[in-house]
Amino acid sequence: MQLIQELEELINRSSAVPFSSKTMIDPNEAMDIIKELKEALPGELEASKQIVANKKQILFDAQKQADQTREDASKQMKAMIDQNEVTHQAQVQAEAIIKAAQAQAKEIRTGTQHYADKILAKLQDQLRQLNGTIGENRKEIRDLQ
């Protein structure tokens, strides 16, 4: 860019040819700048090619990294879904176990209540009989007097 600016400056400071739009420049100075441009140009072109090649590699690497990140995220999401499914299944199974335990507890409670009621009814009958016997014995004792 500097050489191009030097060439522009050479043209700008050159003398105008009277009655035309042309200017007079020092051909040696112009040729020196052109020679320097020719020498610098291959290096500049090579640097540009290297930048383009690096750009392609950078874009390729970025795409590769993006693909890997997407794949990792997909795997993590699948693992989380699987974990969620396992948790859900465990929760369903736990609820089933709790429901079965509650049903069994209710059955045991009902059975115990029936058993206690049966025992108490039997005891009540025995107490009635005993009460009747006591009443008869008391009557006999009174009749003896």
pLDDT in tens, 53-106: 788 888 888 899 999 999 999 999 888 888 888 888 889 999 999 999 999 999
Closest residue by Cα to residue 41 from 3, 78, 11: 3
**Number of compact structural domains in the chain:** 1
Which structural domain, as residue segments, surrounds residue 17?
Answer: 2-143
- pLDDT class of 121 with cuts at 50, 70, 90: very high
Please determine, for residue 40, whether its predicted confidence score (pLDDT) is greater than 90.
no
Compute the distance between CA of residue 8 and CA of residue 24 in angstroms, rounded to an integer.
13
Report the sign of the C-alpha dihedral through residues 47, 51, 52, 53, in that order: positive
* Beta-carbon contacts of residue 29 (< 8 Å; ≥ 6 apart): 10
Stated pTM of the model = 0.40
